[in-house]
Amino acid sequence: MSWHPQYRSSKFRHVYGKAASKDKCYDSVPITCNVHDNHFCTVNPIFIAVVTECTGGGAFLVIPINQTGKLDPHYPKVCGHKGTVLDIKWNPFNDFVIASCSEDATVKIWDIPNQVLKRNITTPRKELLGHVRRVGLIEWHPTADNILFSAGYDYKIMIWNLDVKDAVLSKPVKILDAHKDVILSMSFNTDGSLIATACRDRKIRVIDPRAGTVLQEGNYKTHKASKVSFLGNVEKLFSTGTSSWNHRQIALWDQNDLSVPLLEEDLDGSSGLFPIYDSDTCMLYLVGKGDGNIRYYEISPEKPYLSCLMEYHSQLPQKGIGMMPKRGLDVAACEIFRFYKLVPTKNLIQPISMIVPRRSELFQEDIYPLTAAAQPALTAQEWLNGINKGPLLVSLRPGSEAVTPLPQFLELEPLKEITDLSQQQAGGSSVSLEDNQKTREMETDRTEPQVEEKLPRNELMCLSNDFDMAECSSPRTKNELLQMYYRQQEEIRRLCELLKQKDVQIKQLKLQLRNFCMNTDDY
């Protein structure tokens, strides 16, 4: 595979990057000068947080997302660490809670007020004291509430349950000590049942975090991985690092066999790459560190696996990067991803929107599938007890209403076909990925034979998306209700298109009939 784009049929073939204008950027932000290999920025639909320079300890800024322009030099900071802050992450299920880790070997959890900061925040809500050396990485669990992972220079990964009421926690619920050197990167699979790590000992590991066992371990002599990422549900890993000639290098791995990479390619001689995967669109972004370019690929489960789409070029080199969650994107502009690049040479944070060019102003359903919601699928204790569940999903359609949660005192009878305990934990206004797929499969198997018996062949065209209006019974679970709602919306839109086509055919037939009558009169 060559980097030069090999064009193929794809709805993301013409995706382009659009940098925000000067008035939409964040100016005069004192971005950290630390050389630690990390993003240094985290974003949610309400705030943007960035690690900053601070004398006498470590600090970071929390700026309202709409407060663009020049930043006040005396803007308040979050500054409770005694050492330089190395990583920050927003809680994916609470936009007002952020975690930070530092060279002082601590992890702190902070509550951010729902208003503009007027004074420095120095007292955290919780303090995690387990590591004996500096903590370089933190990651929130993608589906379980209040589960936090931290990786330190003591070669250990610690799992913390933040549901505990104590303000100071010194004992994590689990310690993973499978590494023999500094951990450089952590990544979860979709349901958070596995974690992949890249280590300074050149090895990539796939670990079961609750059992503490290493399921796969790979060490390829021509690839020194520094970052690793799960690629959604395709059971593959993607890593970036350096080759034996110290060139930037990418590699694709089979999650179940890390002995030899499926794909390996050298890029150039620059410093580093941040791999960022969007599971909704199956697009992989490679953000350069030390340059201003962003390459993007499309991932497929079969060869050639990676299809090059395009590259965003900029003269401003980025030190770090932040990513806006899908629920914060501008769907009216067909924005499918948004980066916040840190430009320390100009003390600037510049948003970059990845846009699919479309003429229609309507909601583009094909590029906005159901995406992860800001609600946990599991409690911390449920996950610790061994339950796995994919993320809850919501629609990005403007004005779409969520299904009203049912009263807690009503116990719904579960589907008889569902036996997996993890599929009975869904709640709120969303539906999990597993329920979405398995419910559709069961309904397909149940309804298709009956439909073929009842309807003649020409009437089968009235069915779409495995949905039969006459066959549907009353929903018995919240997941069934949400599925039925979305499928009915699909059917309504499809029928509207059919009506438009019929109208056009009627007009054509009328015109033909009139022409025929006129020709008959001439004779």
Q: What percent of the chain has pLDDT over 90?
A: 59
What's the pLDDT band for 474 if we cut at 50, 70, 90? Answer: low
Give 160: exposed, middle or buried? Use CB within 10 Å, 0-12, 13-18, 19+.
buried
Categorize the per-residue pLDDT at 485 as very low, low, confident or very high, splitting at 50, 70 and 90: confident
Structure confidence at residue 499 (pLDDT):
87
Give the per-residue pLDDT at 454.
Answer: 38
Superfamily of structural domain 16-394 = YVTN repeat-like/Quinoprotein amine dehydrogenase (2.130.10.10)
CA 489, 495, 497, 500 dihedral sign is negative
- Predicted confidence (pLDDT) per residue in 448-460, tens digit: 333 333 333 333 3
CA distances from 137 to 38, 134, 148, 231, 431 (A): 8, 10, 11, 20, 30
Q: What is the pLDDT of residue 35?
A: 85
Closest CA to 19 of 421, 247, 307, 350: 350
From residue 211, alpha-carbon distances to 176, 193, 491 in Å are 9, 10, 45
Q: How confident is the model at residue 431 (pLDDT cuts 50, 70, 90)?
A: very low
Number of Cα atoms under 13 Å in the Cβ half of residue 117 = 24
Residue 462: partners with Cβ closer than 8 Å, 6 or more residues away: 455
Instruction: Please tell me the distance from the alpha carbon of residue 109 to that of residue 286, in angstroms, as a whole number.
Output: 30
pLDDT bin (cut points 50, 70, 90) of residue 322 is: very high
Grade residue 362 by pLDDT with cuts at 50, 70 and 90.
Answer: confident
| Domain parsing of the chain, residue ranges | 16-394
Preceding peptide of 304 cis, ω within 30°: yes
Average pLDDT over residues 18-38: 93
Q: Which range among 180-189, 299-308, 346-355, 372-381 shows the weakest confidence by mean pLDDT?
A: 299-308
The torsion angles phi and psi of 237, rounded to 5 degrees, stand at -115, 150
**Measured distance CA(497)–CA(27) in Å, rounded:** 48
What pLDDT is attached to residue 521? 65
Mean pLDDT along residues 512-518: 80
Distance, first Cα to last Cα, the chain: 68
- Residue type for 136, please? G
Mean pLDDT of the chain: 83
- Contact present, 183 and 138 (Cβ < 8 Å): no
- Taking the C-alpha atoms of residue 29 and residue 122, their distance in angstroms, rounded to an integer, is 20
Residue 9, Cβ density class (10 Å: 0-12 exposed, 13-18 middle, ≥19 buried): exposed
pLDDT band, residue 439 (cuts 50/70/90): very low
- Tell me the per-residue pLDDT of 287-309, one tens digit each, with 9 for 90 and over: 988 888 999 999 988 888 999 99
